[in-house]
Amino acid sequence: MPGRHATVVGNTSETGDGVKNLPTDFTDPGKVVHCLVEKQLTCCGVKLNNTVSLTDEAILQHYNTMLANLPKYLLMRKNVYTVSDYFSTERKVGNERQNKKWSELSMLASPSFNGKNIFINQHHMNLFINYQSRMGLKETDMAKKFPITYQLIAEI
């Protein structure tokens, strides 16, 4: 998910300090993560109250908005917890012995087509493709519903 570590748990500020200084809404990653976690927990038999239960179309709308704000999400990475992260162009995961770039982990990397990232992640790509075929939508319908995603697809 784009943004900072705190963005996926619902911190909508650009700096992570909890103060929302701009009118920009950075809630989309947190909403998608919340929904995915709920789905996983209920599949495992956990009973939850007050669930988000987003539709596939709503999740795709959130991904579309993330793509529209992607440059701002990338700037958020400059507000980090460590000095080494500040000087790095890519976030890393792991521990001191095994530290990998996000793009080296296939499950976290954005799917790339002709060297261009169109989708936020694998889930976004699969959901987009399956939604179109399941709903029997034409390309023009998809372009109206998810204009940013479709524009990036059309560019390749």
Q: What's the confidence (pLDDT) of residue 73?
A: 82
Contact in structure between 90 and 102 (CB atoms under 8 Å): yes
Q: What's the confidence (pLDDT) of residue 14?
A: 64
Name residues whose C-beta falls within 8 Å of residue 46's C-beta, 6 or more positions apart in sequence.
Answer: none
Phi, psi of 67 (to 5 degrees): -60, -40
pLDDT tens, position by position, 58-99: 999 999 999 998 888 877 776 655 555 555 555 555 545 566
pLDDT tens, position by position, 6-58: 677 666 666 655 555 555 578 898 899 889 989 999 989 999 988 888 999 99
Pick the closest to residue 31 from 116, 120, 94 (CA basis). 120
Q: What's the confidence (pLDDT) of residue 24?
A: 59
Bigger pLDDT: 5 vs 32: 32
Bigger pLDDT: 144 vs 3: 144
pLDDT tens, position by position, 101-145: 555 655 556 777 777 888 998 899 999 999 999 999 999 999 999
DSSP 114-129: TTEE-SSSHHHHHHHH
Q: What's the confidence (pLDDT) of residue 82?
A: 54
Domain ranges of the chain: 5-155
